[in-house]
Amino acid sequence: MQFKHWTNVNDFYHATYATLMRHEAQNMVPLGNLIIGYEGKDKNEWRDPANWYMATVEDATGILLTAIMTPPHNIAIYATDNKINHASMDALVDGIANHPIPGVIAEKTLAECFAKAYTNRKGMKFEISSDQRIYELTAVNHPPKMGKVRLLEEKDMSFYPYWMNAAYAEFARVGATTMEIPYTVEGCLYRISKKCIYCLEVDGVPVSIAGLNREMQNVIGVGPVYTPAYWRGKGYASSCVAQISQLALDRGFEKCVLYTDLANPTSNSIYQRMGYRAIADSLMLKFV
């Protein structure tokens, strides 16, 4: 087994891209980050690859494990073809043992396998931050249409930062994010400038927001999705997600991908009715 720590994102991209593309939708997080780093167009916040940790483990047959961490986020790991080789796992843990890792996000079985090996080596424990399911969509089963979606604009700074702070506070309570709170004005203006966040308006009033993220070759991610408590239970989030999912498909993407929290059965059933189908379970684990 050969462990390799990569410091050049371009070299890492060329070495691992084809491997990660074997499960493009499942690998939305590591693959999407890799593309961001390779293109080098965006070095805002965590997106500067100079601060990343990238590693592979391979044998004579090729790459067995791919790992990428974009601090402060957890390390994201993929076992080629979802086949876990325990010797390669030991090699990965040996290679990164002296590097601080806050946690892991990966396919459920792989995440547990890595967490056990890493925490045993470090004398630590791990806890579940978020038990997730990954869904993909190729055609939208539209719920009743409510209102109309539009891109957020600077005028929406009257509510957008407050909504995002509330959203990430909720995510943080269930351990589903490592993003810092408060959500800054600069961060909100930056996301508005990227033209990737949409709001649903009903009778001229914004009631829900959803974003498109991590554009890949055939796949685009959907999230975050947030509706203020006052507007919940009216179908607004469903309509918002359905409309931006259709926009993404109309732009030429073959699939939309999103993550859900399995602790929220309501959102899981809503997305399934919309046409999203489960493709994998994912765990986010933190090391303590």
Average pLDDT over residues 149-178: 82
pLDDT score of 176: 47
**Separation between Cα atoms, residue 219 and residue 226, nearest integer Å:** 22
Q: Which residues of 200-227 are buried (b: 16+ CB within 10 A; e: fewer)?
A: bbeeeebbbbbbbbbbbeebbbbbbbbb
Q: How many contiguous H segments (helices) and E segments (strands) does the chain have?
A: 8, 12
Q: What is the pLDDT of residues 257-285, one digit of tens each?
A: 999 999 888 889 999 999 999 999 999 99
Any idea where the domains of the chain sit in the sequence? Answer: 2-124, 137-280
**Where is average pLDDT lowest: 66-70, 143-147, 181-185, 190-194?**
181-185
Alpha-carbon Rg for the chain in angstroms? 19
- Domain 2-124 and domain 137-280 have a common topology: yes
Residue 46's CB is within 10 A of a number of other CB atoms, namely 17
The Cα 243–Cα 149 span in angstroms is 7
Domain 137-280 architecture: 3-Layer(aba) Sandwich (3.40)
pLDDT tens across 232-247, in order? 999 999 999 999 999 9
pLDDT at position 178: 47
Listed ranges 45-49, 141-145, 190-194, 276-280; the one with the highest mean pLDDT: 276-280
- CATH 3.40.630 assigned to 2-124: yes
Nearest to 76 by CA among 285, 287, 288: 285
149, pLDDT greater than 70: yes
170 Cβ contact partners less than 8 Å away, ≥ 6 residues apart: none
